[in-house]
Chains A and B, each alone.
Chain A
C-alpha cells in the first residue's frame, strides 16, 4: 500500500527565514506533486516532479525529488506572510489504475 508522509505537520516561522518541508513515500512512483491549499479553498498545483534529481523553482519555493530515497523536499526561502497555507505532496502510482495519494499536509504559518 502506497503511503505518503510529510513532516513537519505544522510549521510556524518568522518572515525572512528559510525552511524545508519533507515528503517521504513508501513505494516506487513515477511522479510527485506539490499543492497548496488556503483555508476553505481547493488545491492549487505548485510543482510536478517527473524524474530523479528534478528540481523546480517558483518564486520563494523550490521543490526537488530523489526517487532513490523516495523523498521530495519543498524549500522555502525568505518566507513571507503570503506563503501561509497548507502544503500537500502527492504521489501517483501506475500499478493497475492511476491513483494519487496525498501526504498528511504541512500547515505553514509565517509570522510577520
Chain B
C-alpha cells in the first residue's frame, strides 16, 4: 500500500517552545492530508484537513493559532504546535488520502511530551 512517513516519532520539549511535525507521502501525491490527535485508549480526533496550496480547515474547538498547519507541496504537510503546554502532550497522527480510491494511509504517529 501507499507509504506515509511522519517524523519525529517522539519528541520531548519544554513548555513554551514550538514543535514541528512533518508528514510526507512517499510514493503518491496527496492533495489532502488530515491531522488527528489521539489520547490514550481513545479514538482519533480530527484536528484539521490540510489541502495543498490553501489554508487548512480546522475542526471546531481546535485553535488554529496554536496548531499551525502548512501543506506546501503535494507530498508534504507540517503541523507546528506553538507555545506548547503540558496539555498538548498527545499522540499526533497524520494521514494522506489517495485520490482515486479515497483510501487513507497513516503516518507512524508522533508522540509529543511537553514538560
Interface residues of A (CB under 8 A from B): 30-31, 33, 35, 40-45, 48, 88, 90, 92, 97-105, 107
Contact = CB atoms under 8 A, between A and B. Distances in A.
Contacts of A88: 43-44
A1 to B, nearest CB: 10
Of B34, B41, B51, B108, which is in contact with the most chain A CB atoms at under 10 Å from its CB? B41
A33 B106 CA distance: 13
Interface string B9-24: 0000000000000000
B61 interface: no
A44 B22 CA distance: 19
Contacts, number: 57
Q: Chain B interface secondary structure, helix, strand, loop or mixed?
A: strand
Q: How large is the interface on B (under 10, 10 to 19, 20 to 34, 35 or more residues)?
A: 20 to 34
Interface of B: 1, 6, 32, 34, 36, 41-44, 46, 49, 51, 57, 93, 95, 97, 101-109, 111
A98 B105 contact: no
B102 A30 contact: yes
8 contacts: A42-B93, A42-B107, A42-B109, A43-B93, A45-B105, A98-B32, A102-B36, A105-B42
Given A43-B95, A43-B106, A98-B32, 7 more contacts: A48-B102, A88-B43, A92-B102, A97-B32, A97-B49, A99-B46, A102-B43
